[in-house]
A = this chain, B = another copy of it.
Amino acid sequence: MLSQSVEYALRAAVFLAREGEPRTTAQVAEATQVPAAYLSKVLQGLSRAGIVRSQRGIGGGMTLVSAPDELTILDVVNAVEPLQRIETCPLGLLEHGVKLCALHRRLDNAMKSVEDAFRHSTLADVLADPNPSVPLCGGNTADEA
C-alpha cells in the first residue's frame, strides 16, 4: 500500500535518528538492507525536502536536520510521496467541493486515520518503543524462537 521508496526512506530516517551522526549512503544501505544506488536517490529526495542534510567529502554523509522528537513518520512519508487525501470527487464531473459521496468519504476517512497515526509517531517514539526487536531488525536484543 505504501510504496517501496517510502519504506526505504523510513528505514533510513530511523537509522539516522538512532545514529545521530553523519552516516554515508553505503552505511545506511547496509544497515537498512536497501540497494545502495537506489537508496542514494531516495536520500537525495529527503535532502531536497529538507529532512536530511548531506555533506560531501571525507567524514561526510547524511544527517537528520531535525531532532528525532521533532520528526514524524508523516513528515518522512510526505517528503517522499505525499499521502494524498481525497479532496474532491475523483470522477470530477460535478465537483461536490468538500462534499464527497458516501464511497469517497469512507475512503478518505481511511486515509485520514493513516495520516493521523503517522502524524502522532515521531522517530523518537519509534526508537523509545519498548520492543524486543530493534527498529531496523538487523539485530535482536531478545531471544528468538
Contact = CB atoms under 8 A, between A and B. Distances in A.
Nearest to A4: B90
Contact of A139 (B94, B102, B113): B94
B139 A90 contact: no
A46 to B, nearest CB: 16
Nearest to A121: B106
A89 interface: yes
Copies of this chain held together in the complex: 2
A55 interface: no
Contact of A135 (B90, B103, B110, B125): B103
A102 to B, nearest CB: 3
Interface stretch (A21-29, A56-64, A126-134): A126-134
A99 B131 CA distance: 8
Interface residues of A, number: 53
Given A1-B2, A1-B83, A7-B107, 18 more contacts: A1-B1, A11-B103, A14-B103, A33-B93, A73-B106, A94-B137, A94-B139, A94-B144, A96-B133, A97-B144, A97-B145, A100-B133, A101-B135, A102-B126, A102-B131, A104-B137, A106-B117, A106-B118
Interface of A: 1-2, 7, 10-11, 14, 32-33, 73, 83-84, 89-94, 96-97, 99-107, 109-111, 113-114, 117-118, 121, 125-127, 129, 131-140, 142, 144-145
